[in-house]
Amino acid sequence: MAIVYAVGVGPGDPELLTRKAERILRSVDVILAPVSNPSEASVALGTIREFIDESRQEIIVRQFPMTSDRAVLMPAWQGAADLIAAHAEAGRSVAFITIGDPLFYSTFIYLLRILREQWPQLPIEIVPGISSINAAAAEAALPLVEGDEKMVVIPATAGIDQIKTALATYETVVLLKVKSIYSEIVKLLRAAGREQTTIFVERVGSPRQKVLTDFDEITAHSPDYLSLMIIK
């Protein structure tokens, strides 16, 4: 029985892959890349193209719908787990690749639960990756926390009330998935007087990377799905 790997490929810059991730990606038989929209390219797969051999390795792009409806998501998760297990039981090593880290807001978290429950005998190894938060802070040369400071990470989909509470409680607030309520977030930050302590980062590590520190530019921008804010 072959090993199943979950490999974090970082935020999108191939140079931010770990040496371990590269070694495993070069060696596995099958690479499974997630995508939310079948008409769009997989960011994770694009990040690792230079490290793989498509003439020797099987590359599978698998869609995971962009929805919170578990009735829709469960069949997608189960189907991917079935596929991974089938390859591993046939002796083919599998790498599920994910941008960022496999255990940080990743689809692999749900696959891991299914695999552990239904195929407890499968050997699974998780290879951590650099998160978009760390990469964004590095690009902006912005310390995330120091000393006794506290930091909170909130998906903006949690709602504006939770963001407002976090701003009053933590020294550093990181907002992910800001696109859905972007205008509300901007209004809240302006009302809270946080214009000078906010940075916006989009598609960090990719050729489409954008780092904004001027609040007027942040306000005028129309964000991509892969964007975040760090508020100090």
The CA-atom distances, in angstroms, between 13 and each of 45, 130, 177 are 11, 10, 19
**For the domain bounded by 132-231, which CATH number is listed?**
3.30.950.10
Q: Would you give the distance in Å from CA 186 to the centre of its chain?
A: 23
pLDDT at 41: 85
CATH superfamily of 4-127: Tetrapyrrole methylase, N-terminal domain (3.40.1010.10)
pLDDT in tens, the chain (232 residues): 899 999 999 999 999 999 999 999 999 999 999 998 877 789 999 999 999 999 999 999 999 988 888 888 999 999 999 999 999 999 999 999 999 999 999 999 999 999 999 999 999 999 999 999 999 999 999 999 999 999 999 999 999 999 999 999 999 999 999 999 999 999 999 999 999 999 999 999 888 999 999 999 999 999 988 999 999 9
Each domain of the chain, given as residue ranges in start order, spans 4-127, 132-231
